[in-house]
């Protein structure tokens, strides 16, 4: 199935995120056997996009999260698109990842960092650095002004976007920014000696 067919099946909210998210996935051009972690499953939209591009994805969110954005029916969405066999769910908290050092080629946070309290974000970044391989990418997609405006139409109490770039220098990471229509991407990589 292609992305346009998926947009028709899942509908409005998927349309809203798919363009910017898919542009990033295509831009990164990760090898098909890349080990990918999608932090913050939500509706499963980002994991589904990765799977539509042929990637196998591990995704998760904390078991303890009772917000309206967690415990959504990501599996039903993935089944409708026929990519559920490429996605594995495992509950975890990004502040204390269950994974070994140097496990992932890419870690994605799509619409997630602003849902994590500011005081825990540095720990989340530390955990991402620890669990990613030396050449890995750690990517944050955060809504821009257009995106926040759209999101607030259905959730007026939604938090403001986070700015991941403020953590890059502190963790010695290089950063590349890509502007999107509704979501901006921040691509971090370890500064190799
Ligand atoms: C708006 S949803 C993200 C949308 C989702 N990425 C998608 O593609 O549909 C926010 C997600 O962040 C998750 N989240 C919040 N705090 C987290 C944490 N500390 N670790 C991992 N996930 C977290 C929530 O459980 C929820 O799944």
Tell me the per-residue pLDDT of 81-127, one tens digit each, with 9 for 90 and over: 999 999 999 999 999 999 999 999 999 999 999 999 999 999 999 99
- Region for 126 from its dihedrals, namely left if φ exceeds 0, alpha if ψ lies in -120 to 50, beta otherwise: alpha
Q: Which domain holds residue 158?
A: 3-190
CATH at 20:
3.40.50.150
pLDDT, tens only, 147-185: 999 999 989 999 999 999 988 888 889 999 999 999 999
pTM for the whole structure: 0.97
Which residue out of 15, 40, 69, 140 has the highest number of ligand 1 atoms within 8 Å of its CB and is therefore the one to mutate?
40
What are the Cα distances from residue 61, in Å, to 17, 38, 147, 153, 174? 19, 9, 22, 24, 26
pLDDT of 144 > 70? The answer is: yes
Q: What is the mean pLDDT of residues 12-38?
A: 95
Which residue out of 24, 46, 65 has the highest number of ligand 1 atoms within 8 Å of its CB and is therefore the one to mutate?
65
Ligand 1 midpoint to CA 115 (Å): 7
Domain count, the chain: 1
pLDDT, tens only, 32-70: 999 999 999 999 999 999 999 999 999 999 999 999 999
Say if CB 164 and CB 173 are below 8 A apart.
no
**Mean residue pLDDT across the chain:** 95
pLDDT of 193 > 80? The answer is: no
CB burial readout 19-38, b (16+ within 10 A) else e = ebbbebbeebebeeebbbbb
């Amino acid at each position: 199935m292609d992305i346009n067919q998926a947009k028709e099946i899942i509908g409005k909210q998927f349309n809203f995120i798919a363009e910017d998210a898919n542009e990033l996935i295509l831009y990164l051009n990760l090898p098909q056997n890349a080990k990918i972690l999608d932090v913050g499953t939500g509706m499963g939209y980002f994991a589904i996009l990765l799977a539509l591009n042929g990637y196998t994805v591990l995704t998760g969110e904390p078991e303890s999260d009772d917000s309206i954005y967690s415990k959504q029916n990501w599996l039903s969405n993935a089944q409708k698109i026929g990519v559920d066999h490429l996605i594995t769910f495992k509950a975890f908290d990004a502040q204390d990842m269950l994974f070994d050092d140097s496990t992932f080629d890419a870690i994605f946070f799509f619409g997630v960092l602003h849902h994590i309290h500011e005081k825990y974000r540095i720990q989340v970044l530390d955990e991402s650095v620890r669990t990613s391989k030396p050449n890995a990418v750690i990517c944050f997609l955060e809504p821009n002004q257009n995106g926040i405006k759209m999101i607030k139409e259905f959730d007026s109490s939604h938090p403001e976007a986070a700015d991941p770039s403020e953590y890059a220098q502190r963790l010695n990471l290089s950063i590349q920014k890509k502007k999107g229509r509704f979501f901006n991407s921040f691509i971090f990589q370890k500064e190799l000696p």
